[in-house]
Amino acid sequence: MLTNELAYSKAVAYIMSLLSWDKLNFIYNFVLANIVYGVIVIIGVMLFVVIFGWVERKVMAKAQFRHGPTKVGPYGFFQNIADALKLLSKENFIPESADKYLFVSSIVFILAILLFSMLIVPFSGGIYAVDLSVALLAIFVLLSVLPILIFVAGWSSGNKFGSISAQRSIIMMVSYEMPMLMVIAAVALAAHSFSFFSIVGAQSNMYFAVLMPIGFVVFFIAMLAELERPPFDIREADSELISGWLTDVGAPFYASVLIVDYARMLLGSLLIVLLFFGGWQGPFLPKVAWLLIKVFIVAIFIIVLRATYVRMRLDRLLRFGWLWLLPLSIINLIWVYFFMVWGVIL
Amino acid sequence: MSETKINIGPIHPSTHGVLRLVVTVDGDTIKEVEPHIGFLHRGVEKLAESRMYMQNIVYMEKLDYAAPMAHQELYVSTVEKLLGIEVKERAEYVRVVLLELQRIASHLLWLGTMCNDIGQMFSMFMWTMRDRDMILRLLQEATGQRMFYVNMRLGGVNRDLPAGFEDDTYKVLDSIEHSLGEYKDFLESNPVFMERLKNVGVLSRENAIRLGVTGPVLRGSGIDYDVRRNSSYYKYTKLGFRPAVETGGDSFARYKVRMKEMQESISLVRKALEEMPKGDALGLPIKLIGAVPKEKEAIVKRELPRGEGMMYMVADKQRPYRLAIRAPAFINLAALDHISRGQRLADLFAILGSLDLVMADVDK
Amino acid sequence: MIKPLITTTVQIFKSRFTVVYPEEEEKLPDNYRGKIRLDMKTCISCGACARICPNQTIDMVDTYTDKGIKKMPLVNFERCLFCAMCEEVCPTNCLVLTKNLEDVEVYDRRDLIKRPEELE
């Protein structure tokens, strides 16, 4: 007893000696500024979710000869807010055969990780939270944790459709992760760094989409598979396994999963624009406006793809990933290396 | 290895109606499929015994909610054969026009829902529904309702085609022909779609005859049998009808058979509208005491959009004593177990989509 | 691979096909089978409509008219199929199916059983 108390008081005294007033002040300011920025990011993400959701529903409706949402707000703009409020007001029940703690915590973790990774991506030359020098790698580490969390959520949900969907999630992850990392390696090689600011700065002469077109196509396809958008929405195949891992998710968690879906689409489009289309560079308009315009064009293209293509079968995706995407990405890496060595660009 | 049973329950987005499939699965490969049916059974054959002949039309239409005109016409032909009533000549052409329009509408619905099951996210479904809606508006002009028409009478129809029907029909047929070409390009230039359908659910020639399937499922396996040509009725041979046959036996062959059938129906409607004689197409109106039967029993075969349908009726003064129905979708469903052994779980829905089932037909 | 995308993009710029219902309405043909209308002055209470109906939805009930108490049809719209057999059988043509679709929308199921006076 006495030795424990003694050790405890010694530890507290040591820690108190480390923190002087200056250091405490610095930590206080740092944390407060980042908390404020974090809150701004979360509100911004919610706003983008509402706008993206509206754009998606209207564009898909136009491609199918119908109107889409029209009643709630002007041209149906607030329809997604009404849907989210409806979902949040329902009962959240967890089935008996599900593993309660794993199920709930995996869904909460998915939302947390996604919102956290929005902090690392800059929105313009002046709007950013932290300037990590390994930002690109950090984003992909965070994004590759997501399929594992989906696996945990599907496995612990207690019904067979969830476990089938969980198995498919792991098999999908095997097929698209490698080509994506190879293309990121090529981009980092061409820009000499992993930080977003230098990547955008290195594209002032020529966009990377023009420098490495094969790499751009491979990255786009692999990004679609990552974002769970058709034609690769195998994890929650809507018409085969009735929503896969989401079958038994209660209504409030379903709302948070919808937010995750749209936020992931925003993140994916941001990455494509930052890595391959020059980010926020452009004449006349302020930098943020250029970034938003490019992100919207990429998002509309992804939505038109959703309205057009049929879902791919899982074994064909595996074959496609290893037979076509991986060799193309390696060829792309060799191409960029030769450009660097002969100094044609940069 | 370890085999689990998955229950693809009565409520599912891709089984067309209420159908329960208990699938025994080993990893991702299907070992056995066991359908449980009967959720939509309404006892139509027994109900028909307590109503008069013409009151039963209302129940026979509800046997198939995708193409109601076909079953209604089958029943009325059976009653006509029983009572010994001849169909007027202009009425034969009118019936051919209405039936072939209904067949195009049913195949458009099939195309939309099959693309839905494969994972298309409703685009193709909406486009084919738009075309089907144009046909339903035509039928609404001719009979008065979009679905469940009740317009066939003994010896003809209850109201002749209105004025201006022919011009509207020609416009609609041109638009549908253009759309069919677009759908063909849209789907066949899409390698992902072809991968989902080729070599999936192969049914060989011997097995098709042994299992007793009919309709596009049979013609997709290379056997040339079509009731409109083999035991012809109305004026199909005079209008120059040729059935559509494909070898191959997989889902892609069945898809091509149905697309060809739609083209054939469009040209049949055009020819029938040109060659229609002037005259009178009205049948006998409904009365409380109708005609007396001359024969004792009657069997009639027709080519419904889903296969071959038959009705057998035994007469008893003013009501049927017994009515027996051979529904094509019921027999086609029995082939599901045989076709899908050894395929993957994701292919089961492509196979179900290409068999074109409607549960009201299966359960009667 | 590219052709489907072009087809979809072209469809975005064409006009809509659906109708925003309460604001715009669709045009119905003349022989549309909607709500039943009864002309109480010409009804002769023969009961043919009640006997021919396949679903047994029409019932003859006592109603007050100028000539005393007569039996007139009462229609149960929960069971009516709008098949128009009663219109065909009626000898005086007093039972007619109109184009009216809006009066059969109710908030309470008991309002669906319409007496002869409400069928006017």
Q: pLDDT digit string (tens) for B1-24? A: 578 888 888 888 777 888 899 999
Q: Which residues of A touch C11 (CB under 8 A)?
A: 62-65
Of B118, B122, B347, the CB nearest to A311: B118
Which of B24, B123, B124, B354 to probe by mutation at the A interface, max A CB count within 10 Å? B123
C-chain residues within 8 Å CB-CB of B127? Answer: 11
Does pLDDT of B248 surpass 60?
yes
Helices (H), C53-97: 85-89
Give the neighbor-by-neighbor strand order of the sheet with C68-76.
Answer: C58-65, C68-76, C113-114
Whether residue A29 is predicted with pLDDT greater than 90 in this model: the reply is no
Kindly report the number of other CB atoms within 10 A of residue A102's CB atom.
14
Diameter over CA atoms, chain A: 79
- Of the pLDDT bands very low, low, confident and very high (cuts 50, 70, 90), residue A23 is confident
pLDDT at B94 over 70: yes
Indicate yes or no: CB of B345 within 8 angstroms of CB of A237: no
The three-state (H, E, C) secondary structure of chain B, written as one string: CCCEEEEECCCCCCCCCCCEEEEEEECCEEEEEEEECCCCCCCHHHHHHHCCCHHHHHHHHCCCCCCHHHHHHHHHHHHHHHHCCCCCHHHHHHHHHHHHHHHHHHHHHHHHHHHHHHCCCCHHHHHHHHHHHHHHHHHHHHHCCCCCCCCEEECEECCCCCCCHHHHHHHHHHHHHHHHHHHHHHHHCCHHHHHHHCCCCCCCHHHHHHHCCCCHHHHCCCCCCCHHHHCCCCCCCCCCCCCCCCCCCCHHHHHHHHHHHHHHHHHHHHHHHHCCCCCCCECECCCCCCCCCCCCEEEEEEEECCEEEEEEEEEECCEEEEEEEECHHHHHHCCHHHHCCCCECCHHHHHHHHHCCCHHHHHC
> In the predicted model, what is the mean pLDDT of residues C34-61?
87
Helix (H) or strand (E) holding C76: strand C68-76
Find, among A291, A297, A270, the residue nearest to A119 by Cα: A270
Over range A94-112, report the average pLDDT. Answer: 85
Q: Answer yes or no: do A64 and C11 touch at CB < 8 A.
A: yes
Taking alpha carbons only, the member of A219, A221, A338, A328 closest to residue A274 is A219
pLDDT for res B293? 84
Judge contact between A161 and A246, C-beta under 8 A: no
Categorize the per-residue pLDDT at B316 as very low, low, confident or very high, splitting at 50, 70 and 90.
confident
B53: containing domain: 4-363
Cis omega (within 30 of 0) on the bond before A231?
Answer: yes
Q: What is the structure's pLDDT at B176? A: 92
Instruction: Note whether A65 contacts B117, CB cutoff 8 Å.
Output: no
Residue A238's pLDDT is 58
| More confident: B176 or A191 | B176
Q: Which residues pair with C61 in a beta bridge?
A: C72
Query: Among C118, C104, C112, C91, which Cα is nearest to C37's?
Result: C118
Chain A residues touching B118 at Cβ < 8 A: 239, 310-311
Q: Do C12 and A63 touch (CB under 8 A)?
A: yes
Q: How far is CA B288 from CA A252, B54, C102, in A?
A: 60, 10, 31
Tell me the C-alpha to C-alpha distance, in Å, between residue B306 and each of A75, B217, B245, B260. 42, 9, 15, 15
> In this complex, is the C-beta atom of C16 within 8 Å of any C-beta atom belonging to chain A?
yes
Residue B154 has pLDDT above 80, yes or no: yes
Enclosing H/E stretch for C71: strand C68-76
Per-residue confidence band for B84, with pLDDT thresholds at 50, 70 and 90:
confident
pLDDT: is C8 or B168 the higher one?
B168
- Closest residue in B to A233 (Cα–Cα): B119
pLDDT for the residue B1: 58
The DSSP letter of residue A193 is S
pLDDT at B133 over 70: yes
* B106 pLDDT more than 70: yes
As a whole-number percent, the residues of chain B with pLDDT over 90 amount to 28
Nearest to B120 among A310, A314, A316 (CB): A310
Kindly report the average pLDDT of chain B as a whole number: 88
What is the domain-level CATH number for residue B52?
Answer: 1.10.645.10
The predicted pLDDT at position A127 comes to: 67
User: Nearest CB to A62: which of C4, C7, C12?
Assistant: C12
Neighbour tally for B89: CB within 10 Å: 16
Cβ density class A153-166: b for 16+ within 10 Å, e for less: bbbbbbbbbbbbbb
Q: Which of A10-14, A168-172, A289-293 has the lowest mean pLDDT?
A: A10-14
Q: Which two tokens stand for residue A94?
A: 């967890």
List, in sequence order, every residue forming a beta bridge with B323; answer none if it has no partner. Answer: B313
CA-closest candidate to residue A307, choices A70, A64, A79: A64
Amino acid at B331: I
CA distance C70 to chain B (A): 22
Residue B244 pLDDT greater than 60, yes or no: yes
Q: Which residues of A touch C8 (CB under 8 A)?
A: 63, 304, 307-308
* CB pair distance less than 8 Å for B185 and C1: no
B260 vs A251, more confident: B260
Q: Do C14 and A65 touch (CB under 8 A)?
A: yes
Q: Is the pLDDT of residue B170 over 90?
A: yes
pLDDT digits (tens, 9 = 90+) for B172-188: 999 999 999 988 888 88
What's the complex ipTM? 0.86
pLDDT of residue B180: 92
What chain C residue is nearest to A70 in terms of C-alpha separation?
A: C20
pLDDT band of B169, cuts 50, 70, 90: very high
Kindly determine whether residue B126 and residue A65, on different chains, have CB atoms separated by under 8 Å. Answer: yes
Residues forming beta bridges with residue B153, ordered by sequence position: B156
% of chain A at pLDDT higher than 90: 0
Which pLDDT belongs to residue A20?
Answer: 66
Rounded CA gap, B314 and B319, in Å?
9
Q: What is the pLDDT of residues A44-96, one digit of tens each?
A: 888 888 888 888 888 888 888 888 888 888 888 888 888 888 888 888 888 88
C103: closest CA of chain B, how far (Å)? 18
pLDDT band (50, 70, 90) for residue B260: very high
Q: Which residue of C has its CA nearest to B151?
A: C83
- Between residues 163 and 202 of chain B, which touch chain C (CB distance below 8 Å)? 182, 185-186, 189-191
Chain C closest CA to A278's CA: distance in Å? 25
The domain locations on chain C are 32-119
User: Quick one: pLDDT at residue A3?
Assistant: 67
Please list every residue in chain C whose beta carbon sits closer than 8 Å to the beta carbon of residue A63: 8-9, 11-12
Chain B residues with CB-CB distance to A239 below 8 A = 13-14, 116-119, 349
Vertex B143 angle, CA B160 and B231, to 5°: 75
Total structural domains in chain B? Answer: 1
Residue B105: pLDDT band (50, 70, 90) is very high
| Residue B231 φ/ψ, nearest 5 degrees | -120, 80
- Residue B232 tokens read as 């012809």
Question: Which residues does residue B315 pair with via DSSP β-bridges, in sequence order?
Answer: B320
pLDDT for B101: 92
Backbone angles phi, psi at B135, to 5 degrees: -70, -40
- Residue of C11, C18, C20 with shortest CB distance to A63: C11
Please, which pLDDT band fits residue B115 given cuts at 50, 70 and 90?
confident
Query: Nearest-CA residue of chain B relative to A234?
Result: B119
CATH of C32-119, one of 3.30.200.20, 3.30.1330.30, 3.40.50.1370, 3.30.70.3270: 3.30.70.3270
Contact call for residues B309 and B70 (beta carbons, < 8 A) = yes
User: How do residues A200-234 score in pLDDT, each as one tens digit?
Assistant: 888 877 788 888 888 899 999 888 888 888 778 87
Least confident range of B10-19, B206-215, B301-310 = B10-19
Judged by a CB distance cut-off of 8 A, whether residue B125 touches chain C is no
Of C3, C11, C32, the CB nearest to B185: C3
Q: Where are the alpha helices (DSSP H) in chain A?
A: 2-18, 21-63, 79-88, 100-117, 135-155, 160-191, 196-201, 208-211, 213-226, 251-276, 287-308, 314-320, 326-341
For residue A103, the number of C-alpha atoms closer than 13 Å in the C-beta half-sphere is 25
Q: Which residues of B touch A310 (CB under 8 A)?
A: 115, 118-120, 190, 192-193, 196
Helix then strand count (H, E) for chain C reads 3, 5
Q: Could you tell me which chains touch chain A, where touching means 3 or more CB pairs under 8 A?
A: B, C
Percentage of chain A with pLDDT > 70? Answer: 93
* Cβ neighbours for C32, distance < 8 A, ≥ 6 positions apart: B140, B144, B145, C97, C99
pLDDT of residue B257: 92
Chain B partners within 8 Å of C84 (Cβ): 144, 150
**Pick from B58, B141, B186: which is nearest to C54 by CB?**
B58
pTM over 0.90? The answer is: no
Closest listed residue to residue A185, CA positions, set A339, A330, A338: A330
A135-149 tens-digit pLDDT = 888 888 888 888 888
Supply the pLDDT for residue B74.
Answer: 92
* pLDDT category of residue A343 using cuts at 50, 70 and 90: low
- Cα B39 off chain centre by: 20
Q: Could you read off the pLDDT of C76-103 as tens digits, one per residue?
A: 888 888 888 888 888 888 888 888 888 7
Is residue C105 packed enough to be buried (19+ CB in 10 Å), middle (13-18) or exposed (0-12)? exposed
Instruction: Please determine, for residue A126, whether its predicted confidence score (pLDDT) is greater than 80.
Output: no
On whether any CB of chain C is under 8 Å from the CB of A62, the answer is: yes
- The confidence band for A344, taking pLDDT boundaries of 50, 70 and 90, is low
CB contact under 8 A, A242 and B12: yes
Mark yes or no for CB contact B119/A314 under 8 Å: no
Kindly determine whether residue A242 and residue B344, on different chains, have CB atoms separated by under 8 Å: no
pLDDT at residue A241 is higher than 70: no
**At B171, is the pLDDT very low, low, confident or very high (cuts 50, 70, 90)?**
very high
Q: Cα angle vertex A102, ends A98, A104, to 5°?
A: 85
Residue A243: closest CA among chain B residues belongs to which residue? B13
B interface residues, A as partner, C-beta within 8 Å: 4, 6-7, 12-14, 28, 115-123, 126-127, 130, 190, 192-193, 195-196, 344-347, 349
How far is the C-alpha of B76 from the C-alpha of B58, rounded, in Å? 11
The verdict on a CB contact (< 8 Å) between C8 and B150 is: no
How far is the C-alpha of A328 from the C-alpha of A326, rounded, in Å?
5
pLDDT, tens only, A134-190: 888 888 888 888 888 888 888 888 787 788 778 888 888 888 888 888 888 888 888
A304/C contact by beta carbon, under 8 A? yes
**Residues A336, B358: Cα–Cα separation, whole Å:** 56
Taking only the tens place, the pLDDT of each residue in C24-34 is 778 888 888 88
Which residues on A lie below 8 Å from B13 (Cβ)? 238-239, 242
